[in-house]
Structure 1
Amino acid sequence: MTAPQRLLTSLPPRHRARLMSLAREVSFPQGARIFEERGAADRFWIVRSGSVTLDLRVRGEWPTPVSTIDPGDLLGWSWLFPPYAWDFGAEAFTPVRAWEFDGAAVRRRCDAECEFGYAMLRSVAEILAHRVQTARTRLLDLCVPHAGQPWPAAGGAVP
């Protein structure tokens, strides 16, 4: 598997400068909830320092960690696609410093500047593809103890 793509390093310099002109610096203390699953996704971040845990609520229980976002990583992509609602929750695992971007402002710039928009969409798509591949690998690792066993019939339980 290839190394994860980083939004700022994958954008050509002129597009990186256009994106960064929309950035503002923010910080979150350890344990701060950055956003909640199904909440309004109106912004995104690029983590500068610290780490963020992505989580899901399983059957309404406490959030279950599913992934970690580290320095250089994109935090949040739901701002890009309707209905603009978070698919996960996010919490600062350590103190976090990040660049924050207004999702609507970036979408407007993408619409107005086709080359910039294409570069952004391509970069975000590469990041998402890498994350899907990573999640797929993790899921397959969970199934390894069952390798060689037949899949259960529809509605059946995994042995």
Structure 2
Amino acid sequence: MEANQLQKILMELRFTAGLSEGDQQKLAAISRLKEFPAGGTLFTEGSEHKDLYVIRSGRVEICMTIPARGCLPVLTLEAGDLVGWSTVLQQGEMTATVGAIEDTEVIAINAEELRALCEADHDIGYQIMQRIAKSLSQRLVACRLQVLDMYGEHPGQTHHAQKGAAE
């Protein structure tokens, strides 16, 4: 796929929308379109990975390995979301396994080239890192809500009532 087509796609995605045309051209030059069938694996926990993915279409599920319980789903992501952000920060091994729940198309951005671009052009670097931080912030909130749902109070039950029952 040529860079002009990739640039048009990048303009439509939540993660890259609003970047200048020049910045989108720079990203398109280090990107490629990649497809994963439903049931396919984008990457596995513990593996080295070279790309940051921005989901164009489809849905993926992030799973983490829990001893004696296997690989458990922790979050579902969809169009516009990021996958594989830790590779941009040179975190080493991937911390989760990501699988396609349905046919999924992503923009794969080479993380090494993205880091070099951000270092060479601090303006785009600031924009990209700000967007990664926003994405991570949203993911953290989603995880907190899951924890509250799992361990939180149930309808009609208050913290005070729980405390009183244990005493």
Q: TM-score range by the shorter chain?
A: 0.7 to 0.9
Unaligned runs of 5+ in 1: 151-157
Identity of aligned residues (%): 24
For residue 72 of structure 1, report the CA deviation from its aligned partner: 1.6
Query: What is residue 144 of structure 1 aligned with on the other side?
Result: 153
| Consecutive aligned runs of 4 or more in structure 1 exceeding 3 Å deviation | 10-14
Q: Deviations over 1:117-149 (max 9, x none)?
A: 111101100110111012112211221236413
Partner residue, 1:101:
109
Secondary structure at the counterpart of residue 8 of structure 1: coil
Asked if 1:91 corresponds to 2:99, the answer is yes
Q: Could you say which residue in structure 2 is the equivalent of 1:110?
A: 118
| 1:87 Cα deviation after fit | 1.5
Assess if the C-alpha contact under 8 Å between 1:54 and 1:65 holds in 2. yes
Q: C-alpha distance in 1, partners of 2:153/2:19?
A: 37
Residue ranges of structure 2 left out of the alignment (5+ in a row): 1-12
Structure with the greater alpha carbon radius of gyration: 2
CA gap of 1:61–1:138, structure 2 versus 1, over 3 A, is closer
CA RMSD of aligned residues (A): 2.1
* Residue correspondences, number: 147
Amino acid at match of 1:8: T
Greater relative contact order structure (CA < 8 Å, 6+ sep): 1
Aligned to 2:78: 70
**CA–CA separation in structure 1 for the residues paired with 2:43 and 2:68:** 16
- Code of the residue aligned with 2:17 in structure 1: it is T
Could you say which structure has the higher helix fraction?
A: 2
